[in-house]
Amino acid sequence: MSGAPPPPPSDGASGSGSAEAAAARAAAALPWYQSRVSGLEWRVRTLMTENRALRDRILLALEAETGDLRSENDDLRRRQARDPDQPYGSKRENSAPQEADESAKKLKTTASYIDMSSFDDDLIVNTLSFLASDDLISLARASKRFGQSRQDQPSLVERAASRAFAESASDEEMAQLPKYADESHLELLRHLEIGRSELGFDLLIGNFLRYENPLVTSKVKIDPGDPRPLGIDPRDPQGNPQCIAVCRSNVMRAGKHFANVKYSNKPPYFDMGVIRPIDGRQFVGASKCFPCPANRAICLKDDAIARYHSQLLAAKSDRWKGNVHCVTYYHGEGECDATWTDWDTCGNEILELEDEAFEGKRNSFDLLLDLGEGTLSLYDGRKYVGLVKDGLAGEYCWFVEGYNTATYTITRVPSTADR
């Protein structure tokens, strides 16, 4: 995990390629900045709440002090009235300004600085557990006491992240995020925060793919310019842009995950599915990509295809289980099929739809990835339409692959309990 934005990849491009690489790096860094802004907004709200609480405590203390002073003043007046020759209250009046100055100094010191060196570890862990993962990372880097493990014990920051996850994650979120043995609690907390944010396409591959609004990563547009020539298969690499948009930061490892996609093109010709967490740096400046070629005329051993697939496999890790590395549902007018690949072999079949009226004519549909069952299923809203593929295991990310001019918007559907 890192508290810094993604590093700029080294691509050696120049001219227009350099501009494209810069745009790709900016797009890759955008989700980090959005998450950072969300974390800072949360921290500001927390500080405002703490500030109000401190102000209320000060006001209560001042009101109590004012009440005591009024009571004492009334008592002094009564005593002065009974015995006018006695100098009642002179000592307090003489010392009041000095005492007020000392109180003000103490209050200012308390409000502006808190020395945590005398706090015990449990109190510090409890306090730090309210921070976001980025703030915890920054704190770990700034202080050895907070960021360094001691005597085979996890660091205070790591303990705080563990507590924050345990106390805030729901049962569904815990099912989605079992901890890896080589994973820190800080990483786990970071994935929890990402899973609660909006889905966004943070990895774009292809010349004709862009954000409609650079600040909204959930919506992308493919615009190759000239319309697709008639008679060309929409998935023919010679006649179409073959662009893909990946929700790379949102890695799904277990549990159920439900997403909705809306599209503008009529008729619809595109794929949506899941792909392994690939390394986007391998594709900086790439004009196209073939993660899951469905056209039977495309040979997986073709030099260009093989090169793309070797790049995709470069990110392979032990967290990739099984041999289904990419699976897509092809959404076309009157045609719905599924394709899958391990980037060495490829499979394809027509879907058996339980809702025959569906047939790709909607402008929106949903996919459910159930990693407990190892299935990817198609839904029309809450209505089950058909099974896209079984045998899925390990880590995946949502992605869309488009072939002609269209916009695509992806949205996380929060609850899958009733599906």
For the ranges 37-51, 80-94, 200-214, 386-400, the one whose mean pLDDT is highest: 386-400
Q: CA-CA-CA-CA torsion for 105, 113, 168, 4, nearest 10 degrees?
A: 150
Does residue 83 lie within any of the structural domains? Answer: yes
Give the whole-angstrom CA distance, residue 215 versus residue 31: 9
Give the whole-angstrom CA distance, residue 376 versus residue 393: 11
User: Looking at residue 409, what is its pLDDT?
Assistant: 93
253, 368: one domain: yes
**Residue ending a domain, choose from 137, 169, 195:** 195
Output helix, strand, coil percentages for the chain, rounded to the nearest 5.
40, 20, 40
Asked if pLDDT for residue 325 goes beyond 80, the answer is: yes
User: Looking at residue 359, what is its pLDDT?
Assistant: 64
For the ranges 160-164, 235-239, 314-318, 399-403, the one whose mean pLDDT is highest: 160-164
289, 366: one domain: yes
Proportion of the chain above pLDDT 90, given as a percent: 26
Q: Which domain holds residue 174?
A: 121-195
Based on the structure, what is the number of domains in the chain?
3
239, 367: one domain: yes
Q: What is the mean pLDDT of residues 390-407?
A: 90
Does residue 37 lie within any of the structural domains? Answer: no
- HSE on the CB side for 51, CA within 13 Å? 7
67, 189: one domain: no
pLDDT in tens, 215-258: 889 999 887 664 444 333 444 444 455 788 999 999 999 999 99
**Residue ending a domain, choose from 90, 112, 134:** 112
Helix (H) or strand (E) holding 350: strand 346-350
99, 229: one domain: no
Q: Are strands 216-222 and 209-213 parallel, antiparallel or unpaired?
A: antiparallel
CATH number at residue 396: 2.60.120.920
State the pTM of this model.
0.68
Does residue 356 lie within any of the structural domains? Answer: yes
Residue 387's SS3 state is: strand
97, 130: one domain: no
User: Looking at residue 372, what is its pLDDT?
Assistant: 94
* Cβ atoms within 10 Å of 75's Cβ, excluding its own: 12
* Whole-number average pLDDT of the chain: 77
347, 208: one domain: yes
- HSE on the CB side for 118, CA within 13 Å? 2
- What distances in angstroms separate CA 127 from CA 35, 300, 408, one per listed residue? 21, 55, 42
Task: Please state which of the ranges 37-46, 258-267, 373-382 shows the lowest mean pLDDT.
Answer: 37-46
Does residue 2 lie within any of the structural domains? Answer: no
Please say whether the beta carbons of 388 and 376 come within 8 A: yes
237, 299: one domain: yes
At 298, is the pLDDT very low, low, confident or very high (cuts 50, 70, 90)?
low
320, 341: one domain: yes
Please give the residue that has the higher pLDDT: either 334 or 210. Answer: 210
Does residue 90 lie within any of the structural domains? Answer: yes
- Please report which residue ranges of 257-367 form alpha helices under DSSP H: 303-313
User: Looking at residue 297, what is its pLDDT?
Assistant: 46
Does residue 162 lie within any of the structural domains? Answer: yes
140, 253: one domain: no
Please say whether the beta carbons of 327 and 370 come within 8 A: no
348, 376: one domain: yes
Contacts of 317 (CB under 8 A, 6+ apart): none
Query: Where are the extended beta strands (E) located within 180-315?
Result: 203-205, 209-213, 216-222, 243-246, 256-263, 269-275
- What distances in angstroms separate CA 92 from CA 69, 100, 106, one per listed residue? 11, 11, 20
Q: Which of 214, 209, 211 minimizes the C-alpha distance to 225? A: 209
Give the whole-angstrom CA distance, residue 308 versus residue 327: 16
Asked if pLDDT for residue 36 goes beyond 80, the answer is: no
Q: Can you read off the two tokens belonging to residue 205?
A: 């591959």
Does residue 131 lie within any of the structural domains? Answer: yes
Does residue 419 lie within any of the structural domains? Answer: no
**Residue ending a domain, choose from 83, 112, 141:** 112
139, 80: one domain: no
Q: What is the mean pLDDT of residues 136-152?
A: 84
